[in-house]
Amino acid sequence: MNVPLEDREDRVIDTRVAIIGGGFSGAAVAWHLLQQQRELDLVILEPRAELGRGLAYSAADPQHRINVPATRMSLIPDTPDHFNDWLETSGAIDGDPAARHEGRSFPSRAVFGLYMSQTLAAFTPRLHHIRGRAEDIASVGERYHIAATDGTLIRADIVVLAVAHAAPSAPTSVEAALDGHPRYVSDPWQSGAFDAIRPTDRVLIIGTGLTMADIVASLEARGHTGEILAISRRGLRSRGHPAAQHDPAGDFLTPPIRTAGDLVRRIRVAVAEAAHQGKSWHCVLDQVRLQGSAIWQGLPLTERARLLRHLRPFWDVHRFRIAPQIEDALDRRIAASTLAVRAASLKSVTREGDVIRVGLHTRRDGTLMQASFDAVIIATGPAHGSVFAANPALASLEAHGLARPDPLRLGIDVNTEGEAIDARGNAQPTLLVAGPLARGTIGELMGLPDVTHHAIRIAGAVDRALESRESERAA
């Protein structure tokens, strides 16, 4: 049972700025804010031992690589080679010759996490890391009181929410049938998740996106040779990078796009024009990404919902590309007939001893097929709609009327400045949201370059809020 904030007698920390979440989003806000405010100290609440890693860059498996070249992964957009230069001077990939591919580097995600940790270390005296999670956030007077799981009470003028997506959720029928099965993996990111899977096991992966690709690469590196079937509603597999690089092409802002259908038509025309010039579709999708926030914000809410319902799976597999090393692993398995990617849905899941019987409804011809597996791995995307229920900090904010889900249930409702919208519809300049949970309003916020630019804007908003608070106090 939670003790009311006003009755707590734990350790109390007063700070001007508190950041909830120390993954990449929170760490990027902290770094840029501390660069702007030379005298500022701040608190960041993060349960992991190192800041900047989050779930994505805590991955210990060396097969889990960054999905874009190192030259596009900088924490500092004005210095695009910052991470790549660090790679060359740190020796972090000297023992990983496979990281280099045709002159570009795709190191493991853990290496990027190390880069983030070491880059942030320069601010250690001013960056106070509290190892814990926020379990309650309330407004008390003109400040926020944050109760952490380690017993700390943090009192802050400004709060930045940089919390993560809710974890993927398995279909209810799968969870009910396979709970306790030795080779049922509901969370592929858990350490040792694949230890029980044997080399010749028949594996069903539910999901066909980036997570599926990482799973296949990990299993292959462990010596797995058994058959793998990956399924999703549309059976779409993440695409790779182009053989030749081209500048972004096309214009999707003039005239403004007002419907999802118009966006599709404009993309098709631009792809055809690019092909006529000997370019791949990649450069067109790169331009859509660059103009994505403006496109999204120009769409009415009904068209945003239509885009999500019909187009998001296609956008995801073209926008979020896999590293060439991972693409090679998938191609090898498909060529060897030990990997199949199909459009199908689950109709039944039963267990006979350790054998898993599955009924699948295939999308292409509508037939019902039966198959047997030795292992099932969940690789679905984040459970966007349950983020408030799954995160105690967000649940408390909603209960206190300080924040609410966005209309599309992608995350937290914010205005275009990143300020959280309260239950009455008012924006709060001292409660800001960084990272993918602001995407319902901001638009594309999943790729690292987009998250970085948004973190810089949030750092600027915090800077302005600090100045406003100082002016009020002086008055």
Task: Encode the chain (475 residues) as per-residue pLDDT tens digits.
Answer: 344 444 445 589 999 999 999 999 999 999 999 998 888 999 999 999 999 998 888 878 888 899 889 998 999 999 999 999 999 899 888 888 888 888 889 999 999 999 999 999 989 889 999 999 999 999 999 999 999 999 999 999 999 999 987 777 788 889 999 999 999 999 898 888 999 999 999 999 999 999 999 999 999 999 999 999 999 999 999 999 988 889 999 999 999 999 999 999 999 999 999 999 999 999 999 999 999 999 999 999 999 999 999 998 899 889 889 999 999 999 999 999 999 999 999 999 999 999 999 999 998 888 899 999 999 999 987 766 678 988 999 999 999 999 999 999 999 999 999 999 999 999 999 999 999 999 999 988 778 888 999 999 999 999 999 888 888 777 7
- Tell me if 310 is assigned to some domain: yes
Helix (H, G, I), strand (E, B) or coil at 276: helix
Residue 188 CA to chain centroid, in angstroms?
A: 15
Please check whether residues 330 and 233 belong to one and the same domain. yes
> Residue 130: what pLDDT?
95
CATH number of the domain where residue 187 is located: 3.50.50.60
Please check whether residues 287 and 418 belong to one and the same domain. no
> Residue 133: what pLDDT?
94
Please check whether residues 342 and 361 belong to one and the same domain. yes
Q: What tokens does 421 get?
A: 């919208």
Please check whether residues 308 and 335 belong to one and the same domain. no
> Residue 7: what pLDDT?
47
Work out the angle between the directed axes of helices 109-120 and 24-36 (0-180°, nearest 10): 30
> Residue 385: what pLDDT?
67
Q: What is the DSSP letter of 412?
A: B
Q: Whole-model pTM above 0.85?
A: yes
Q: Find the angle CA(315)-CA(318)-CA(320) to the nearest 5 degrees.
A: 95
- Tell me if 53 is assigned to some domain: yes
Q: What distance in Å separates the CA atoms of residue 361 and residue 16, rounded to the nearest whole number?
A: 55
Domain boundary pick from 317, 337, 366? 317
List the beta strands (DSSP E) in 162-313.
184-185, 203-206, 228-232
Which residue type does 375 have? A
Are 173 and 346 contacting, i.e. CB atoms less than 8 angstroms apart? yes
- The residue length of the chain stands at 475
Residues 6+ apart with CB under 8 A from 93: 87, 99, 100, 105, 107, 111
Are 108 and 65 contacting, i.e. CB atoms less than 8 angstroms apart? yes
> Residue 8: what pLDDT?
47
> Residue 381: what pLDDT?
74
Helix (H, G, I), strand (E, B) or coil at 175: helix
Please check whether residues 391 and 340 belong to one and the same domain. no
Q: What tokens does 472 get?
A: 């009020």
Number of C-alpha atoms within 13 angstroms, CB side, residue 123? 28
> What domain count does the chain have?
3
66-84-24-208 Cα dihedral, nearest 10 degrees: -10
Please give the backbone phi and psi of residue 145, each rounded to the nearest 5 degrees, phi first. -110, 125
> Residue 1: what pLDDT?
31
Range of the domain at 287: 260-317
List the beta strands (DSSP E) in 331-414.
339-352, 355-362, 368-373, 375-378
> Residue 3: what pLDDT?
42
Domain boundary pick from 335, 360, 378? 378
Please check whether residues 60 and 114 belong to one and the same domain. yes
Domain boundary pick from 363, 378, 393? 378
Are 105 and 99 contacting, i.e. CB atoms less than 8 angstroms apart? yes
- Tell me if 150 is assigned to some domain: yes
- Tell me if 80 is assigned to some domain: no
